[in-house]
Amino acid sequence: MDMGTRTGRSWLRRGGVCLWALLAAGAAQAQEGRPWLDPAVPTAQRVELVLGRMTLDEKISLVHGNFGSVLRKTRPDDKRIGAGHVPGVPRLGIPDLYESDASLGVANGGTMRPGDVATALPASLATAASFDPAIAYEGGAMIGAEARAKGFNVLLAGGANLTRDPWNGRDFEYLGEDPWLTGVMAGAAIRGVQDNGIMSTLKHFALNAQESGRYVLDAQIAQGALRESDLLAFQIALERGQPDSVMCAYNKVNGDWSCENDWLLNQVLKRDWSFPGWVMSDWGGVHSTVKAALAGLDQESGQELDQEVYFGEPLQTAIGKGTVPEARLDDMVRRILGRLFHRGLVDRPAPDSPQPIDYAAHGLVARRAAEAGAVLLRNEGRVLPLSTALKRVVVIGGHADVGVLSGGGSSQVQAVSGSPLRMPIPNGPANLGFIKITYHGSSPLAAIKARLPGAQVTFLDGADPAAAAAAATGADAVLVFATQWRTEAIDLESLALPEGQDALIAAVAAANPRTTVVLETGGAVLMPWLGKVGAVLEAWYPGDQGGEAIARVLFGEVDAGGRLPLTFPAREEQAPRPQVPGLANVKAAAAEQAAKPRTPGATTVDITGGVKGFDVPYVEGADVGYRWYGRQGLKPLFPFGHGLSYSRFRHDGFTAQGGARPSVRFTVTNTGDRPGVDVPQVYAVVPGADGRPARRLVAFQRVELAPGQSVAVTLPIDPRLIARYDSGAAAWAVSGGPVPVVLARDAGDTGLTATLAMSALSLKP
């Protein structure tokens, strides 16, 4: 059954709304002189009708909105105040915009109001690791259904930045390093959200690839390279997901702030991609009135975080003076209203009072995503899957006795399973005191014990490596849970596991080679102990039912279905930048702030924390992640796409069809003795940014096969994935001729080869 569709449509049935009733109501509204409320009138006409009745004040009020945290102080009982709010125009029947963060679930803005829970999906990296758009869709549909039931109508979802740097604090919120995978998965997730009749963003546009200095840094990259990488991910997500809004990023791109960047907003997004929706700013991402308005920004969000409410009075003044034409304001409003009508939010508004939510069904959605995205990185001597006949099992570390780790920041969800641990960031900056290291209440230990009723299962917290090693000696199986916490606003300074966990794992593995390490990380991590342990399962932040999902994979109730959506480096120096750019500026500012006395009663917020601006040159250009490793001849710890199954698969019959509509065909056979998941990946080999050959993922397919079962797979290839973006000609250019393609298990695998005989193509941007 398609759970996503069922969840997505449930509001329609619950509301008991049917078309004739809407039409009848619309006709009545029309009689009252509000014809735009008639659903039978075409959307474009409805927009013009209502726009014609709006006063200048009403138009202005729709293009700037409040920061939720500020409003929550004045409206403490209004549960619909999430990350942001934009008042509607009640006299004309235009609803308020109630905005919630939603990368992994309906986020609670860090408030942790009692009982204000929501289903927490695993990290987006886990969703990406499933290589299954249906998993992404189902997750989006689940979040959308909960959001609607809670009265929200705009979800700040659809994070599609490429994970360019392995230490990015927000890597867990994104979908990996590849434009095709990111675009396909983000598009599916957005469709899932919007199929609930509510709106979603696609964010953060563009190149917000690190958190350190995100409010001040200038991302430097050639336009063509950006088109072939991050922008291509956004473009594919936009085509497939059709988000109602795009959120511009904090940082500058090539000298201009993203939210006043004419090239990004007017030329690429609105002209080249014909985006019909509206551009909203990130919270505190606006720096001007006239420049931003003329560059294509349509709505200022979280206005209290900007230095001025630029789209309030200053915009009104600019219109009065003619420095911003009123037609441009009309365009902003038209874009917002257009999507409101299109998405059905005027005819079928989100409910005013909370509706019941089927958390049990939604928990299963989260569990399925965690299972599908768990990546078996190593499995020497078939340490996994575990047998239920084991007699003595030792579980160590990672607070596995109480729950599973989650990532911090605006995406934080107060999980249905509870929050048994909420700890402050050790030595964290004062302004980020609201961010807590949070565990969801789904205990892996409890789930493991439930599968071993007759066994002795011991838990140690791992604080004492010698004691852990002693307990592990002679056990039938040892499971070490290792964690790496990441959060929005802070990057990692090291990819090593923190708090002595490497030493713990090394000590335990030395005592017992049947040691499995279960990683709960928000991205890549170094593994100096790798050769010593039996197995490694990357469970990411596994979400609301993470404990259960991990146990199901460990015991082989489901296959470990995930494949890495990003490269795990062998050493930090392998990354295109050997350390976080601008870290010195961030540290200097933090020291200065700490020394400064606090100004009592200060009203303006400086979200930059006083960090001085700096440039980040993206030297890898379009060759993000595995493309960089390939072109530099670097061998990572684990390549993009890597992941083992409990079964074995054969690929054969690989053929490629070129021309203007390229495609590939092949057969996959499960040659093992158990059902399993395979993710065949097709890479094209094209010249990289420096002319050396680099691989590009052009197609993938997740398949689940019974033992002995075969499936024939045909996959089309989007020619833009093998094209060069020619900035001079403003077109994608495929030169024509042979293009090698490889059917592989990961980005480093030799695989099977074939050749696409490509036609010369020039495709619109």
Residues at the interface with ligand BGC (CB under 6 A): 83, 101, 156, 203-204, 282-283, 410
The Cα–Cα gap between 29 and 51 comes to 17
In the complex with ligand BGC, the residue whose CB is nearer, 253 or 551, is 253
In the complex with ligand BGC, the residue whose CB is nearer, 154 or 395, is 154
The Cα–Cα gap between 96 and 154 comes to 10
In the complex with ligand BGC, the residue whose CB is nearer, 156 or 162, is 156
Contact 687, 694 (CB under 8 A): yes
Contact 159, 410 (CB under 8 A): no
How does strand 731-734 pair with strand 703-705? unpaired
Minimum CB separation of residue 589 from ligand BGC in Å reads: 18
In the complex with ligand BGC, the residue whose CB is nearer, 283 or 439, is 283
In the complex with ligand BGC, the residue whose CB is nearer, 101 or 300, is 101
In 3D, which of 322, 279, 280 has the Cα closest to residue 303?
A: 280
The Cα–Cα gap between 116 and 133 comes to 29
Minimum CB separation of residue 110 from ligand BGC in Å reads: 9
Minimum CB separation of residue 413 from ligand BGC in Å reads: 13
In the complex with ligand BGC, the residue whose CB is nearer, 156 or 232, is 156
The Cα–Cα gap between 373 and 505 comes to 23
In the complex with ligand BGC, the residue whose CB is nearer, 155 or 527, is 155
Minimum CB separation of residue 410 from ligand BGC in Å reads: 4
Minimum CB separation of residue 408 from ligand BGC in Å reads: 12
Which residue carries 């201009």 as its tokens? 256
In the complex with ligand BGC, the residue whose CB is nearer, 83 or 437, is 83
Minimum CB separation of residue 203 from ligand BGC in Å reads: 6
In the complex with ligand BGC, the residue whose CB is nearer, 46 or 204, is 204
Minimum CB separation of residue 221 from ligand BGC in Å reads: 20
CB atoms within 10 A of CB 652: 11
The Cα–Cα gap between 745 and 252 comes to 37
The Cα–Cα gap between 581 and 375 comes to 30
The Cα–Cα gap between 665 and 376 comes to 27
Q: Is the peptide bond before 204 cis (omega within 30 degrees of 0)?
A: yes
The Cα–Cα gap between 281 and 302 comes to 8
Q: Which residues of 490-504 are buried (b: 16+ CB within 10 A; e: fewer)?
A: bbbeebebeeebbeb
In the complex with ligand BGC, the residue whose CB is nearer, 203 or 240, is 203
Minimum CB separation of residue 266 from ligand BGC in Å reads: 22
**Helix 3-15 with 359-373: angle, nearest 10 deg:** 160
Minimum CB separation of residue 513 from ligand BGC in Å reads: 43
In the complex with ligand BGC, the residue whose CB is nearer, 110 or 662, is 110
Minimum CB separation of residue 34 from ligand BGC in Å reads: 33
The Cα–Cα gap between 113 and 78 comes to 11
In the complex with ligand BGC, the residue whose CB is nearer, 281 or 442, is 281
Q: In what helix (H) or strand (E) does residue 319 lie, and over which residues does it extend? A: helix 313-321
Minimum CB separation of residue 280 from ligand BGC in Å reads: 9
Positive or negative, the CA dihedral 537, 122, 242, 9 is positive
Q: How far apart are the first and last CA of the chain?
A: 38
The Cα–Cα gap between 65 and 340 comes to 16
Which residue carries 């990411």 as its tokens? 540
How does strand 737-744 pair with strand 681-687? antiparallel
The Cα–Cα gap between 435 and 422 comes to 9
Minimum CB separation of residue 204 from ligand BGC in Å reads: 6
